[in-house]
Structure 1
Amino acid sequence: MLIVTALGGNALLRRGQPMTADNQRENVRIAAAALAPVARVHDLVVGHGNGPQVGLLALQGAAYREVETYPLDVLGAQTEGMIGYMIEQELGNLLPFERPFATLLTMVEVDANDPAFHNPTKFIGPVYDKAEADRLAEAKGWVVKADGDKWRRVVASPEPKRIFELRPIKWLLEKHTIVIAAGGGGIPAAYSPHAERKLEGIECVIDKDLATELLARELGADLYVMLTDADAVYVDWGKPTQRAIRRASVDSLKGMPFAAGSMGPKVQAACRFAAATGKAAAIGALADLAKVIEGTAGTTIVAGSGDIVYG
C-alpha cells in the first residue's frame, strides 16, 4: 500500500519552542519513531511543513544588511534540503540499511494571478505578542494576523497546480524508495508572462496539505494522512460543546466551519482527495499514526454521503 503523509509544522517544531537545530532534530527523531513501523510494511512518501523554518531564515537574512533577504522560493528550497536531511537520517537509523531514501527539491506550479496574493493567510515564522508583531509589520512591511492568542507573519498561499518532479518520484517508488517531497508545500514557481515556458520562483508559501494532497492524488496513493498536534478534527473546537469527528463523508462536511489558518486546509485537502479518488484521507496526531491508518483514531474522511460519526 502506498501511503502519503504530511507532517505538520508542530511535528518538527512545537509552538513557541526555540527554533534551534537541536530542537528540530529531537522532534524529527520523534516523528521518525512513528513513521518507521509504517515504512517497514508500506511504500511511503513524506511531506512536511516549513513555516517556522522559512520565517527564521527570513529573519536571519534580514539581519545581514549587505544583501537583500533571499526570496521565499529560495528559502523554501533551503528548508526542503535541511528538513529532508534530518528526516532521512533519523528514519534511516530505525530501518534496515538496504532501504533507500531520497529527498527531492520539489517545484510546484502556481498561478501568478491567484487571488490568494491579495489576501495573505499562510503563517510563517515565530509567534509574537501584539505589540511586537505590529512593530515588525511597520518596520518590515509585513502582514500579521492573530494565531490563537499570539500573532504571526502571514504570506500569500496560492493553490498548487502541478508538481514538476512527479515522474522521478514515481521512478523512486518503483524501487521502494522512501521519498521526502513537496516539503513546505514545495518550491513555488510560476511561468513568466513575458517569455514562453520560462519558469520563475514567486514570493509565496504553498499550503503543504494541499500540495501533498495533489501529490497523493497524482501518485495514486491508497491513503493520504495529515499528521498534526490535534488528535482529530473537532466540531465547536475550543468550546464546551466540542466533539471529535471519528468518521465523516465529504458531503457531510460541506458548509461546516473550520479555522482557515489551521484545520481548514486539512479538511479541504482530505475532502478533495477522497472525492477525486474514492479513497480515504485521514487527519490525526503523529503519535497515533498506526491507529489513524487503521481508522481507530483521528478523523477518517471518505467519498460520497453519510452521517458524521463522533468519537
Structure 2
Amino acid sequence: MALVVVALGGNALLRRGEPVSAATQRANIRRAAVALAQLMAEGHQLVITHGNGPQVGLLALQGEAAGKAAFPLDVLGAETEGMIGYVLQQELDNAYTGDARFATLLTQVEVDPQDPAFATPSKPVGSVYSEADAKRLAEQRGWSIAPDGNAWRRVVPSPRPIRILEIEVIRLLVAQGVTVICAGGGGIPVAQLADGTFIGVEAVIDKDHASGLLAAELQADAFLMLTDVPAVYTGWGTPAQRALGDVIPQELAALDFAAGSMGPKVQAACDFVNHGGGMAGIGALEDVSGLLMRHAGTRVVPRHGA
C-alpha cells in the first residue's frame, strides 16, 4: 500500500469554458471520485487536495453583484474548501464500495506577509474575459489582470506556503486510515503576528506548492497532480511538442514552463523529489492509475530507473 497525495487541479474539477454551476461541478467531481475510488480499491491510502480558483472568483463576484462588500480572499478560500470538500467527500463515499472513512478538514497555511508575491499578483481566479472586458473590469474594480491562454483573467497574490497549521491533525487522521480532503485551494492563507496570533491575508496560495509541502510533511510515497493535459510537454503548442515520461528534477530545471499553469506544477514536483520524496506525477485524471504505476503522464523521479 502506498500513501499518495493527490492534487485535483481546478481544470480537472471545472473544465475551461464550462459554467461555474453546482450541477457542472458535481458532475466533474463525480468523475474524479470514480477515478480516485479505483486507486483506493487498488489498496492505496489517499490524501486529497483540490483547486478553487474559479470558485473563489465567482463568490467574490456574487458578493459585489449583491451590492455588498466582498468577503476577503481568506474567508472565500475557507468557503470553497468546505463547498468543494463536501461534494468530493460525498461522491467519494458513493463511488467507493469498500469500508472507508472520509473527512474534510479546513486547513490554514502560513505565508510570509513580506513575500514578494504580494507586489506581483500572478494567480488567476474567477472567469475568463476578453481583453477589453478584463481591462474594463480592472478599471472599475481595481483588479490586476493578466493573459490566461487566449483569454484574460483576474490575478491575485500567490505567496509560497511556509507551514501547514493542521499538519498534526492530518497525521492523526491518516494514521487511523481516514481518507483526508484538506488544503483545498492551497489552504486558507494566514500570517503570524509578532504576538503569535494569526490573521487571514488577501491571497490565494498555489494549490500545487501547498500540496507538495503536504506530501513532504506526510512523507508520502507519491505526489500526483491531476490536470486537463496528459503530460508535461516541451515545445507546447508547436509542431515539435513532445511529452515527457520519466524525468529527473535537474532536466526539468533546464526547461521553461508557463508561470501561471504548468510552471508551478513542475516546480512543486521537483521540490518534493529534491526534499527526499518519492515519485511526483503530472497527468490527466483518467490516467491516474497509470500515472502511479509509471505507465502514463510525466513522472519526476530522483534518478532514471529509480
Q: Would the aligned equivalents of 2:231 and 2:283 in 1 still touch at CA under 8 Å?
A: yes
Give the equivalent residue in structure 2 for 1:62. 64
Q: Secondary structure at the match of 1:277?
A: coil
Asked if 1:83 is matched to 2:101, the reply is no
Q: Would the aligned equivalents of 2:103 and 2:181 in 1 still touch at CA under 8 Å?
A: yes
Q: Secondary structure at the match of 2:220?
A: coil
Give the equivalent residue in structure 1 for 2:208. 209
Q: What residue identity is the alignment partner of 1:280? A: M
In the alignment, structure 1 segments of 5+ residues that lack a partner are none
Question: Which one is further off, 39-48 or 22-31?
Answer: 39-48
Cα distance in 2 between the residues matched to 1:254 and 1:200: 35
In the alignment, structure 2 segments of 5+ residues that lack a partner are none
C-alpha displacement at 1:97, in angstroms? 6.4
Q: Deviations along 1:98-148, whole A, 9 cap, x unmatched?
A: 411000000000000000011111000010011110110000000010001
Q: What residue identity is the alignment partner of 1:203? A: E
Cα distance in 2 between the residues matched to 1:22 and 1:210: 29
Q: What residue identity is the alignment partner of 2:29? A: V
Q: What residue identity is the alignment partner of 2:155? A: V
Asked if 1:196 is matched to 2:198, the reply is no
Q: What residue identity is the alignment partner of 1:273? A: F
Q: % of aligned pairs identical?
A: 55
Q: Secondary structure at the match of 1:93?
A: helix
C-alpha displacement at 1:96, in angstroms? 3.5
Cα distance in 1 between the residues matched to 2:206 and 2:242: 26
Cα distance in 1 between the residues matched to 2:98 and 2:87: 16
Asked if 1:283 is matched to 2:285, the reply is no
Give the equivalent residue in structure 1 for 2:145. 144
Q: What residue identity is the alignment partner of 1:85? A: Y
Give the equivalent residue in structure 1 for 2:246. 247
Q: Would the aligned equivalents of 1:275 and 1:302 in 2 still touch at CA under 8 Å?
A: no
Give the equivalent residue in structure 2 for 1:45. 47
Cα distance in 1 between the residues matched to 2:27 and 2:276: 35
Q: What residue identity is the alignment partner of 2:5? A: V
Q: Would the aligned equivalents of 1:4 and 1:216 in 2 still touch at CA under 8 Å?
A: yes
Cα distance in 1 between the residues matched to 2:25 and 2:277: 36
What TM-score, normalized to structure 1?
A: 0.95
Asked if 1:3 is matched to 2:4, the reply is yes
Cα distance in 1 between the residues matched to 2:138 and 2:15: 23
Q: Deviations along 1:267-305, whole A, 9 cap, x unmatched?
A: 00000001101411010000000000010100000125x
Cα distance in 1 between the residues matched to 2:98 and 2:90: 11
What TM-score, normalized to structure 2?
A: 0.97
Give the equivalent residue in structure 2 for 1:32. 33
Give the equivalent residue in structure 2 for 1:127. 128
Cα distance in 2 between the residues matched to 1:212 and 1:144: 25
CA 1:278/1:109 → structure 2, altered by over 3 Å: closer, same or farther? closer
Q: Would the aligned equivalents of 1:55 and 1:124 in 2 still touch at CA under 8 Å?
A: yes
Q: Secondary structure at the match of 1:108?
A: strand
Cα distance in 1 between the residues matched to 2:226 and 2:100: 23
C-alpha displacement at 1:198, in angstroms? 1.2
Give the equivalent residue in structure 2 for 1:14. 15
Cα distance in 2 between the residues matched to 1:80 and 1:46: 12
Cα distance in 1 between the residues matched to 2:38 and 2:128: 33
Give the equivalent residue in structure 2 for 1:163. 164
Q: Would the aligned equivalents of 1:224 and 1:281 in 2 still touch at CA under 8 Å?
A: yes
